Amino acid sequence: MMRLYKVHHRLSHFSSSCCCLLHPFSLGNARFPSSTLRSFRHLRTDSTNLFKPAMSAFRFNRLVPVNSSLAEDGSTAGNGSANASLTFAEDDDESVIGVKYRVPPPEIRDIVDAPPLPALSFSPLRDKILFLKRRSLPPLAELARPEEKLAGLRIDGKCNTRSRMSFYTGIGIHPLMPDGSLGPETEVSGLPDGVKINFVTWSNDGKHLTFSVRFEEEESSSSKLRVWVADVETGMARPLFQSPDIYLNAVFDNYVWVDNSTLLVCTIPLSRGDPPKKPLVPSGPKIQSNEQKTIVQVRTFQDLLKDEYDEDLFDYYATSQLVLASLDGTVKEVGSPAVYTSLDPSPDEKYILISSIHRPYSFIVPCGRFPKKVDLWTADGNFVRELCDLPLAEDIPIASNSVRSGMRSLNWRADKPSTLYWAETQDGGDAKVEVSPRDIVYTQPAEPQEGEEPEILHKLDLRYGGISWCDDSLALVYESWYKTRRTRTWVISPGSKDVSPRILFDRSSEDVYSDPGSPMLRRTSTGSYVIAKLRKENDNATYLLLNGNGATPEGDIPFLDLLDINTSSKERIWESDKEKYYESVVALLSDQKEGDIHINDLKILTSKESKTENTQYYIQSWPDKKLCQITNFRHPYPQLASLQKEMIRYERKDGVRLTATLYLPPGYDPLKDGPLPCLVWSYPGEFKSKDAAGQVRGSPNEFAGIGPTSALLWLARRFAILSGPTIPIIGEGDEEANDRYVEQLVASAEAAVEEVIRRGVAHPNKIAVGGHSYGAFMTANLLAHAPHLFCCGIARSGAYNRTLTPFGFQNEDRTLWEATNTYVEMSPFMSANRIKKPILLIHGEEDNNPGTLTMQSDRFFNALKGHGALCRLVILPFESHGYSARESIMHVLWETDRWLQKHCVSNTSEVSADIGKNKDGEGKEVTDIENKAVAASGGGGAELADDIESGQFYSKTRSLM
């Protein structure tokens, strides 16, 4: 539920709660059903998104809930403390072994070192905007801090929070003037020098901010987080707790506003002593048993508990004491210490949902699957009743749409004072079980009458996906099924049992052209968010606002439609400029008053950008649709301001239409400059139909956002960049997409290479290919099975041997034993002997992503080296799946630039003129691979953990600020 307004910053973990954070490199139209709002802190994030493709990762078009962490890979600025440890040498011997950290050439380094822009956050009342000031890329020393790897988490024991947290350096408060302009800034003051700010949170009435502060003092306990509060009008800040001994426990949820003057805070228990010490001699052997012959299939999760000592250590850091703290200084401990994971006040501020996890723990699944208990408390800290106590869930099937049994998605109704709702599976959580209904949604008052049973709200044949609430006459229920890509939206009347539910939308989730958009939500006086109802003059119809991306064959053209909820007729009231600009609706701002919104009082926040103009934000008001610009951000990299961008379309040999974005350097003239060296950077996607795979996604007018590891950086080195060429892997009907993975991968790559050569922008024997995570897997496969296309490859943080991920990977939910040939044929490790083109492998030494363990690159490199391949392996100390430290990022750029200059720009080898055939005359499909031995050594997981209980939580996207 969208009551809280938190902002925090992490390097490698996205975790969010509820409100509007506008981030200059990550802005736009986030859309969430109200049922998932309280779970924003569990927003699933695949760090590969930072790199797939890298140039689209910062498109300036995402609205991020305020508690969402913005990966600081997006920050772009130098850091003096980091510079001292970097060396740069002009020499480049053949091996370059044993080098220290290097930096790339100035034309790349200057872009990455550009000062970062602030993040923005609107107040609950929409009358003020925060400018959250950010620092540069962090130094490696911060990543080198000790961390505990426990139950799927990485914990900084010194701060008692998740490790590798980024932070804000200051907060500026701007009033939003009546004419829509910004007033003068008030800086939050009273903070000590060098303070690091996290978890910025608005009070419900918008009068106060709370946030955590910490300091970096060696061997000092002051690095633990303290809670501070600031007056929004004056900007004066002070500690929330008068006692210096009360610290925040931020391993899970950390604090919430219970009302406008009281917070419920997870604190480190005062009675806690020193961490448990690891025994020199274990109490016994490590034993796992399955004597009941239970079928337990799990993907390879990382950082799991290993023994009793780890269990004790997890309890030590994760256990909190709940404290009610008032702004007047009153402090009251409530409840007993426990591992509390979420705190959720009811809209009427009378109750709080308290979630916790408890023993028995598991050594094979992360903490998201530990036994989970949800209790109901009063707002003053008194226990009311237990809502559920779910057992350990080690046996959730790996099939897509499989879930945990029992009550799940337990939330408050956003349109009621204190009414609960939740879903329960009827198939035991196993997506392979055929049953109708598959899910049932229940509702019940917080304190039901004696003997009052939960009421069935709705039954679903697909998997429940959330609810957007409006009132007793209207709510929208979402369901979907991954295997068929089917998604449905139901209209229900929660307060009228005699009104039958009806389907509003029934479509394929892959068919972006038919996407009607999502309903926009408005804020209520209680701080919750409900579907906004609109009305017109002399019109009794009920209208909703549908905010959509507007995918078309010419690219996205975002829109705002008025939907008559009774007749389903639509009227378009706003649409993006389709000629030069890309505009999108970010949020609804006309929700200060209760009740329906008159169309003439409509006010929205929009973003606007072009190929060469970075995103700015505007307030647009009806009825005259007057625009008022509220930001004036500088161009982040003016040296590339005149880059050339074009969305291109071409066709695969099997008739599938493909799309890519072609970028050319500033001032490039094809007649004068001729073909350029080209870098193709992409990431495969899976589809159920050729038509869906061929649809255009994205806009040719979007600003070219460049992150610190983006392929677009090589525009400054006069490369052509083919960004995100569609690499569709299609499995139509009963066919699984991966059964023809290599064949379709090569066909897509051939079509892309043929197109850039046909256009005369890419030199045929100077085309490199690269990708991150699943894109690295793609890169290795292309060098193995299509060596005629590329001169070299760059593969970052990839997995190369699918037998190491035997219980599924990516979107593959068959096991190795069910699809042995597929696992083997897809694995470039099995074709290491075929890779003859130079390949650069880069991997974080502490990769925590399921399926891409660091050993994947290590073993692949040894296999390549064992067959005499030209290869290089770079392991980045302390880095995880995505790269964060300035030293690491600069070195990755140096390695990549060196590789491209040496094996692409300077390449003089001949290439076959026949793009449809390997240079060696080999066919494009894997040959004789079925007879090869399967080296199933166990372990491994998926690049994209699609299990909500895996510890990498996520929320289904819908419309909301």
CA angle 658, 660, 663 (to 5 degrees): 160
At 37 the three-state DSSP class reads helix
Distances 306 to 303, 338, 343 between C-alpha atoms, Å = 9, 21, 29
Q: What tokens appear for 352 in the block?
A: 């709080």
Q: What tokens appear for 642 in the block?
A: 């005149």
Task: Please tell me whether the peptide bond between 437 and the residue prior to it is cis, using omega within 30 degrees of 0.
Answer: yes
| Annotation says 903 is catalytic | no
Contact 182, 134 (CB under 8 A): no
Residue-wise DSSP of 402-468: ---SSEEEEEE-TTSSSEEEEEEESSTT-TTS--SSSEEEEEEESSPPTTPPPEEEEEESSEEEEEE
Q: Which of 253, 847, 946, 947 is flagged as catalytic?
A: 847
Contact 631, 120 (CB under 8 A): yes
Distances 170 to 131, 235, 341, 818 between C-alpha atoms, Å = 8, 11, 28, 54
Residues 6+ apart with CB under 8 A from 383: 335, 375, 376, 377
CA distance 692 to 812: 19
Distances 611 to 319, 699, 722, 760 between C-alpha atoms, Å = 49, 9, 15, 22
Q: What tokens appear for 261 in the block?
A: 């003057």
- Per-residue b/e over 622-649, b at no fewer than 16 CB within 10 Å? beeeeeeebbeeeebbeebeebbbebbe
CA distance 648 to 625: 33
| Annotation says 203 is catalytic | no
At 740 the three-state DSSP class reads helix
User: In degrees rounded to 5, what are phi and psi of residue 712?
Assistant: -65, -15
CA distance 896 to 900: 6
CA distance 524 to 415: 8
How many contiguous H segments (helices) and E segments (strands) does the chain have? Answer: 11, 51
CA distance 583 to 28: 9
CA distance 18 to 15: 10
- DSSP-derived secondary structure letter, 145: S
| Annotation says 847 is catalytic | yes
Nearest to 690 by CA among 746, 734, 733: 733
Distances 442 to 38, 419, 458, 639 between C-alpha atoms, Å = 18, 11, 7, 57
Q: What tokens appear for 701 in the block?
A: 């007018």
Q: Which of 208, 788, 881, 891 is flagged as catalytic?
A: 881
Q: Which of 47, 56, 590, 773 is flagged as catalytic?
A: 773
Beta carbons within 10 angstroms of residue 861's beta carbon: 21
CA distance 239 to 796: 43
Beta bridge partners, 464, equal: 479
Contact 510, 689 (CB under 8 A): yes
- DSSP-derived secondary structure letter, 897: H
Contact 87, 732 (CB under 8 A): no
Beta carbons within 10 angstroms of residue 603's beta carbon: 18
Helices 774-785 + 741-758 axis angle, to 10: 80
The separation between CA 109 and the C-alpha centre of its own chain, rounded to angstroms, equals: 26
CA distance 38 to 469: 14
Residues with active-site annotation:
773, 847, 881
